[in-house]
Amino acid sequence: MTPLLLAPLGLAALAALIVPLLVHLRRRTEDVPLDFAAMRWLEALPRPKQRLRFDEWLLLAVRLLLVALLALLLARPAVLGWDDDSPRVLVAPGVDPAAARAAAGAEAEAYWIAPGFPAITSAPPKGPIALSSLIRQFDAELPQGAPLTILVPPVLDGVDARRLDLTRKVTWRTIAAAPGAPAEPPVPAPTLAVRYAGTEAPLRYFRAAAAAWGATEKFTAEAGDSLPPRDAVLVWLRPGPVPASVTHWVEEGGTALLASTSQLAMPAASGPLWADAAGSALVEGGPLGAGRVLRFTRPLEPAAMPDLLDPGFAAALRDLVSSPAPPPAHVAAAAAAPASTAAPYPLPPRELTAWLAVLIALAFLAERLLASRRARFAA
């Protein structure tokens, strides 16, 4: 345990100790004038030496202490190596709280794996949680000697792509999951809204794709240029320049798939998104505002684009227009047991500011009591 000062220059405030000393210095320079008729029998002595004398020693001492403590507060005292090595238990969300408490024991400090690490007695955290990251953080901030137990459900959610590698050997225990964990609903198929002009030849490929997704009833095709709802995918087959209303619609979060005959300045970040077997791009595109714009590079004719007739067209088109899937975050708990090869992190020193503040408050209280006591004003 090593005491140290994080801001030693703060001790310069000790110079303020002179203030209470000056306040308490007995003023000896003033001589009280006094009529004294028997003065001729007084012996003229050399002036007495000015000795430093102070009034009210106790009050002066308390005031000096107060100033010194304030200076110490500015210097930010801290202690290195004063660590709490008691065992901790981390509980992953999804674990049955009752089972977790039973497994951790009555006296262990148990925390949810959630931002801020709330105690296990509070309500279980809700919402998506970066589990791996939080475990790494807790491990890095824990003193080196403190044992750590992590209680996890059979299937972990919220892990990232990197396997846990902690600074200590961790007891990794699988506990029964909380009952009634909801199953995630399947992602619905995208809705296609085709806008075309003149010949309706390419239309059937999209209708066929929608039928393959099982979304025929949501498929719409219109000859006009009206804009569909935001969650639909706009398939723009009209040749010529794309109107500004479509561009706005995309910029506000829509997804548009343009025919090769449509004219639009593609965004700078666009690139090939779908390539045929030979490797040449079939669809290019990129983000535009908050949405995405995609464009076929070839006419929608089997002669120019044989993939239109390919059995995989529907699946490829769905991948193309669906929003990107989240990265995989589920893992079997048994397979995610952390390794213990990471180098330990040096812990920051522990600041004593709070304790010092309590001391200062006590000293201030004592000073006020002494300074305002009645006997002081009696004279």
Partner 1 sequence: MARPPLTIPPEVRSRLKRLALRTRRDMGDRGFGMHASRNKGSGIEFAQYRAYEPGDEPRRIDWKLFARSDRFFVREAEEESPIAVWVLLDASASMAQADRARPDWSRMDAAKLLALCVAELAMMQGDRFGWIGLRDGGLVVADPHRGRAQFERMQIEFSRLEPAGAFADAATLAPLWERIGAHDLVLFLSDCFDEAGIALIERLAKAGREVLAVQMLTAEERDFPFDGGYRFIDPESGADLIGDGKALRQTFLDRFAAARAALGERLDAAGIRHTAYVLGDPIDRPLHAFFGRGALPA
According to the binding rule CB under 8 A, does residue 126 interact with partner 1? no
Q: Shortest approach of partner 1 to residue 55 CB, angstroms?
A: 12
According to the binding rule CB under 8 A, does residue 379 interact with partner 1? no
Site for partner 1 in 290-329 (CB under 8 A): none
Q: Candidates 25-33, 82-90, 250-258, 357-365: pick the segment binding partner 1 (CB under 8 A).
A: 25-33
Q: Which residue has the tokens 């500004």?
A: 244
Cβ proximity to partner 1: between 35 and 107 the closer is 35
Distances (CA, A) of 231 to 13, 190, 191, 249, 323: 64, 8, 7, 11, 11
Q: Candidates 37-45, 113-121, 256-264, 359-367: pick the segment binding partner 1 (CB under 8 A).
A: 37-45
Can you tell me which of 1, 9, 22, 39 binds partner 1, judged by CB under 8 A? 39
Cβ proximity to partner 1: between 29 and 121 the closer is 29
According to the binding rule CB under 8 A, does residue 33 interact with partner 1? yes
According to the binding rule CB under 8 A, does residue 42 interact with partner 1? yes
First to last CA, the chain: 50
Q: Shortest approach of partner 1 to residue 26 CB, angstroms?
A: 9
**Residue pair 16/71 in contact by the 8 Å Cβ criterion:** yes
Can you tell me which of 41, 184, 229, 354 binds partner 1, judged by CB under 8 A? 41
Q: Shortest approach of partner 1 to residue 379 CB, angstroms?
A: 14
Tell me the C-alpha distance between 293 and 235, whole Å: 10
- Interface pattern 51-90 for partner 1 (x via CB under 8 A): ----------------------------------------
Can you tell me which of 1, 2, 9, 48 binds partner 1, judged by CB under 8 A? 48
Residues with Cβ within 8 Å of residue 55, at least 6 apart in sequence = 24, 26
According to the binding rule CB under 8 A, does residue 123 interact with partner 1? no
Q: Candidates 35-43, 172-180, 188-196, 275-283: pick the segment binding partner 1 (CB under 8 A).
A: 35-43
Tell me the C-alpha distance between 141 and 154, whole Å: 26
Can you tell me which of 1, 9, 22, 38 binds partner 1, judged by CB under 8 A? 38
Tell me the C-alpha distance between 263 and 250, whole Å: 15
* 343-373 burial: b if 16+ Cβ within 10 Å, else e: eeeeeebeebeeebeeebeebeebbeebeee
According to the binding rule CB under 8 A, does residue 183 interact with partner 1? no
According to the binding rule CB under 8 A, does residue 28 interact with partner 1? yes
Cβ proximity to partner 1: between 42 and 277 the closer is 42
Q: What angle (nearest 5°) sits at the alpha carbon of residue 55, between those of residues 52 and 61?
A: 95
| CB-facing half-sphere around the CA of 329: CA atoms within 13 A | 12
Can you tell me which of 45, 52, 161, 343 binds partner 1, judged by CB under 8 A? 45
How many CB atoms are located within 10 Å of the residue 56 CB?
15
According to the binding rule CB under 8 A, does residue 107 interact with partner 1? no
Cβ proximity to partner 1: between 51 and 162 the closer is 51
Q: Please give the structure tokens belonging to residue 181.
A: 């964990």
According to the binding rule CB under 8 A, does residue 37 interact with partner 1? yes
DSSP sequence for 209-235: HHHHHT-GGG-EEESS-PPPPTTEEEE
Tell me the C-alpha distance between 161 and 260, whole Å: 38
| Positions that interact with partner 1 (CB under 8 A) | 28-45, 47-48
